Each structure stands twice: as structure tokens, then as C-alpha cells.
Amino acid sequence: MNPVHRDFFDGGAGEERTLRDNEAAFRRRRIIPRVLRGTGPRDLRTTVLGTDLSMPLLIAPTAFHLLAHPAGEAGTAQAARSAGVAMVVSMAATQPIEQIADTGAALWFQLYPQPDLDFQARLLERVTKAGVEGIVVTVDSPVLGTRTRDLRNGFTDLPPGLACRNMDGRDIAMDDRLGWPHIDRLRRATDLPLVLKGILHPADAALAVTHGADAVIVSNHGGRQLDGAIATLDALPAVLDAVGGRVPVLIDGGIRTGTDILVALALGATATLVGRPVVDGLARAGAPGVRETLETLRAQLDHALALAGAQRPAELSPDLIA
Ligand SMILES: Cc1cc2nc3c(=O)[nH]c(=O)nc-3n(C[C@H](O)[C@H](O)[C@H](O)COP(=O)(O)O)c2cc1C
Ligand SMILES: CCCCCCC(=O)C(=O)O
């Protein structure tokens, strides 16, 4: 890959403290396994907001897949379909939603709330018609994070010929006036499950539920927004307390292995999302590369469950984690 584009995918905001800390938070945890549980073959299947998953993992929304590989977002979706997981399609996808949906993958669509409400309504209608099963509203981006590597590299625009194909020629607006009334409006605008992505503070998690969110994603945008923000795994317990089981709580950021997934689930997450490892798989080998990433995570999770003494994710509990 062009090293400038590699930096775009790999990089974070500021000094990249949060980017590093997301992974470090998982490495700080240890598993206290149970023994003699007679698990037999494991069953990793789960359902989140009506979407069936072959394991508790979704592909996190990431921008510009055509920069990583000519297969683009459709290649990622093809792998998601064959692995039986869902893909959250970024609003900054470089292929049309209809082309991505043609793969038959289970899709959710990620939205940055747009100040042009007519355009936003048309976009919601379009992605709903294409068959997406959920809307993921990213709420951690009133402004774009300071992407140190992109600034250093002068990466400001997509190369000629590439564009955000679901934006009808518009730029994606990040809007620093966004507030809960925008979420209320979105809640009224769609019957699809509405998921808020980018929740870290427990008070916001509670507000998300009262404003009608069907799930929240504990996320710091992979360390690309507020550098110094808490690692997602460290934020998870307080968010779970605030939500109190009323809606599923998902998590992303720093998940690199099946044992990381096990740790997140044991601490109470319903499912996990993975960003950069999927892009890495795409860059390496297109759809088969993404499939390899997903199957590696599946095999690791299955193995870790066997060794920790759980047959299925629902059997995991916080006492297994130190
Ligand atoms: C290259 C890249 C592009 C991203 N683009 C988006 C995006 O368009 N919308 C969004 O909500 N989050 C975006 N994210 C954040 C991811 O959805 C996710 O929160 C993060 O990547 C999870 O961390 P991980 O990469 O450590 O797994 C992006 C992340 C990366 C690395
Ligand atoms: C002005 C919007 C550019 C797309 C941002 C994609 C993204 O979220 C990222 O982390 O990169």
C-alpha cells in the first residue's frame, strides 16, 4: 500500500496515546479459567438486534476501502457474508451501498449526523431500501480528530477517481452543534435499530437509552478522535452499570485476538467490533484476506473458550477476568 494510505489506516490522533492504550488495556487483563466444565464443541453464535452472527463479532465501520484494495467495501462484505458476520458500512465508503449489499452480507450503516436534513433523509431511505439492518450513529466526532500522520504526510484528499459514493457528491459534514435533539430526530426518522457509537461516559450511556438507542458501542474511534480518551475496555464496566441491561453494549478498539474478544464478553459486552485487522486483511489479499482475519479470530475465540471452560459466550462472566 502507498505508505501515506497505510498511515491513514494505522494512525491515531495526537500522540496516539489512546490508540496504544486500547491494545494495552487488553494486554493488562488476565483470564482465570475454569476447569472440568465438559464444554464439548463450542457454539459461538449470537444474535444482536435481530442480526444473526456466527460469532460475537461485527466489522467496524472504516473509511475508504478502495485505498486498501481494489475489491473495496464489497470485498470486505463478501468476506463478512462467507464468515457469517455483519459489516457496519462506513458513511465514507468508496463504493455505493447497493453494490456492497449485492454481496448478500448482513449490513448495518454508519452515519455521521448531517446538518442537511433533506440529504440525510434521502440517505436513510436509500440505505434502508438497500436492505441494511441497523443504523449506527457516530457521536464522537463533532470535529475531526488531529490525525498527526495525515498532517505530516499532507493527506487531505482521496486520489482522483475515488470518492465517498453514498454522499451524492457532498463532503461529509462534522457538526459541532450536534446534540440529543438530533438523536431524537433520527429516532423518529427510522424504524431500524438505532445504535450510538462512541460512548465512553456512563452518563451518556444512560442518556442514549432514554433517547431511544437500541444499543451502544463503547468506542473511542480507534484512538483517532480525542487523544488521551480512556481505553475502551477500561470504560466498559461503568457503561454497563449505567445501562443496567436495558440494551446491548458492544465495544471496539484494540481487539486483536480471540482472547481479547473473550475478555470483552466476559466483562459484559454483548459483541465486539474489529477495525484495523479487517483493513489489514483486505489490503493483504482482498476478500480472502478479510476472511482469513475473521477465521483466525474465530479459531482463537473457540480455543480460548475451550481452555477457559465455557461452551458459549453467554457462559462467560466477570469473575474469569483479573
Ligand atoms: C482507517 C479507519 C477509518 C475509520 N473510519 C470510520 C468511519 O468512517 N466511521 C466511524 O464511525 N468510525 C470509523 N473508524 C473507527 C472504527 O469504526 C473503530 O471505532 C475503530 O477502528 C476500532 O478500533 P480498532 O481499529 O483498534 O479495531 C475508523 C477507523 C480506522 C482505523
Ligand atoms: C470528514 C470525514 C472523513 C471521513 C472520516 C473517516 C473516519 O471516521 C476516520 O476515522 O478516518
pLDDT per residue over 281-322, tens digit each?
Answer: 999 999 999 999 999 999 999 999 999 999 999 999 999 999
pLDDT score for 92: 98
Assign residue 219 a region: left if phi > 0, alpha if psi is -120 to 50, beta otherwise?
A: beta
Give distance in angstroms: CA of 137 to centre of ligand 2.
Answer: 13
Which residue has a Cα nearest atom 10 of ligand 2?
Answer: 224
Q: Which of the ligands is closest to the CA of residue 58?
A: 1
pLDDT score for 170: 97
221 a catalytic residue:
yes
DSSP 221: G
Residue 90 counted as an annotated binding residue:
yes
Query: Measured between alpha carbons, how far is residue 77 from residues 84, 235, 287, 321 in Å?
Result: 10, 29, 8, 33
Closest ligand 1 atom to the C-alpha of 91? Answer: 8
Q: Are 279 and 256 spatial neighbours (Cβ–Cβ below 8 Å)?
A: no
Stretch 270-286: mean pLDDT, rounded? 98
Residue 235 counted as an annotated binding residue:
no
Residue 188 counted as an annotated binding residue:
no
pLDDT score for 30: 98
Q: Which residues, including other chains, have CB under 8 Å from residue 285's CB and lie 6 or more apart?
A: 69, 292
Give CA 118 to chain center in angstroms.
26
| Percent of the chain topping pLDDT 90 | 100
Give distance in angstroms: CA of 61 to centre of ligand 1.
Answer: 6
Stretch 79-105: mean pLDDT, rounded? 98
Provide the β-strand partners of residue 57. Answer: 272
Give distance in angstroms: CA of 89 to centre of ligand 2.
Answer: 12
Orientation of helix 232-243 relative to helix 258-266, angle to 10°: 30
Stretch 145-162: mean pLDDT, rounded? 97
* 232 band by pLDDT with thresholds 50, 70 and 90: very high
Pocket flag, ligand 2, residue 65 (CB < 6 Å): no
Stretch 174-196: mean pLDDT, rounded? 97
Q: Report whether CATH 3.20.20.70 matches the domain 3-310.
A: yes
DSSP 151: H
pLDDT score for 124: 98
Q: Of residues 65, 69, 182, 221, which has the active-site annotation?
A: 221
Give distance in angstroms: CA of 301 to centre of ligand 1.
Answer: 22
Which residue has a Cα nearest atom 20 of ligand 1?
Answer: 222
Residue 221 counted as an annotated binding residue:
yes
Stretch 214-241: mean pLDDT, rounded? 98
Q: Which of the ligands is closest to the CA of residue 59?
A: 1
Q: Is the pTM value of this prediction over 0.90?
A: yes
| 271's grid cell | 459483541
Average pLDDT of the residues of the chain? 98
Closest ligand 1 atom to the C-alpha of 279? Answer: 1
Where does ligand 1 bind, in terms of residues with CB under 6 Å? 9, 22, 60-63, 90-92, 110, 138, 197, 219, 221-222, 224, 252-255, 274-276
Specify the 3-state DSSP secondary structure of 251. Answer: strand
Stretch 3-16: mean pLDDT, rounded? 98
pLDDT score for 4: 98
Nearest to 269 by CA among 278, 282, 260, 279: 260
Q: Which residues, including other chains, have CB under 8 Å from residue 193's CB and lie 6 or more apart?
A: 49, 50, 133, 134, 135, 214, 215
Residue 95 counted as an annotated binding residue:
no
Stretch 206-226: mean pLDDT, rounded? 98
For 179-196, give one letter per residue: b (16+ CB within 10 A) or e.
eeebbeebbeebebbbbb
pLDDT score for 39: 96
Q: Are 57 and 78 spatial neighbours (Cβ–Cβ below 8 Å)?
A: no
Look at the alpha carbons of 263, 14, 200, 73 in this order and tell me if their dihedral is positive or negative. Answer: negative
Closest ligand 2 atom to the C-alpha of 8? Answer: 11
Q: Are 260 and 275 spatial neighbours (Cβ–Cβ below 8 Å)?
A: no
pLDDT score for 125: 98
Look at the alpha carbons of 219, 229, 212, 113 in this order and tell me if their dihedral is positive or negative. Answer: negative
